[in-house]
Amino acid sequence: MGQSISLRCSAESTLFSVDEPRVAAGMSYDEETMDIGTHLIFSGQCREAFEFYARTLGGTIEGMLAYGDTPSSSGMPADWSTKIAHATLRIGGRKLMGADVLPKDYERPQGFYVLVNAEPAKASALFEALAEGGSVKMPLEKTFWSPAFGVVVDRFGIPWEVNAEVARG
């Protein structure tokens, strides 16, 4: 017997529903072997951004590979040898990944936010740090679902939502 999966934006509307947790080509979802993560693209500031995110979010950079250290280095401009081909930042049990792309290939991020849930005391400091040099789209303020929620695009062009969560217990 299969499971039913539904994605909802409210109790009244179902956006997507399937009877079996199967996707195209006969693949199936398995929590043990599949993970969904976030991969951010930068136009040359990946190293600076990830060092900032590590300090601000309290994460650990697990890897940062420069183009000059990859087999594809010969296809990159000489001044891009220190730009980042792949970076991984671990924050708790999650990974945030990133890379630099050539300016001709860079497109400003749109259509998503990186969501950070934090304790109320930490949410304010986190929001202020992300907003420094960036653009506040919605000030951090009380909402009907949170004691503090705000939206900001950081100085690297990455859109963030900061949500204060009260511990349930």
Q: What is the mean pLDDT of the chain?
A: 84
Give the residue extent of every domain in the chain: 37-107, 108-169
Q: What confidence tier does 127 reach under pLDDT thresholds 50, 70, 90?
A: very high
What pLDDT does residue 29 have?
Answer: 55
Task: State the Cα–Cα distance between residues 47 and 167, nearest whole angstrom.
Answer: 33
pLDDT of residue 26: 55
Do 58 and 91 form a contact (C-beta atoms < 8 A)? yes
Q: What is the mean pLDDT of residues 136-150?
A: 97
Q: Is 150 helix (H, G, I), strand (E, B) or coil?
A: strand
Mean pLDDT of 127-140: 98
* Residue 14 vs residues 8, 9, 111, 112, 124: alpha-carbon distances, Å: 5, 7, 20, 20, 34
- Under the banding of pLDDT at 50, 70 and 90, the label for residue 16 is very low
Question: What is the rounded distance in angstroms from the CA atom of residue 62 to the CA atom of residue 95?
Answer: 9
Position 50 pLDDT exceeds 50: yes
Which CATH number does 108-169 carry?
3.30.720.110
Of 3.40.50.1580, 3.30.1130.10, 3.10.180.10, 2.40.30.200, the CATH number of 37-107 is 3.10.180.10
Residue 30: predicted pLDDT: 57
Beta bridge partners of 138: 151
Phi, psi of 34 (to 5 degrees): -130, 140
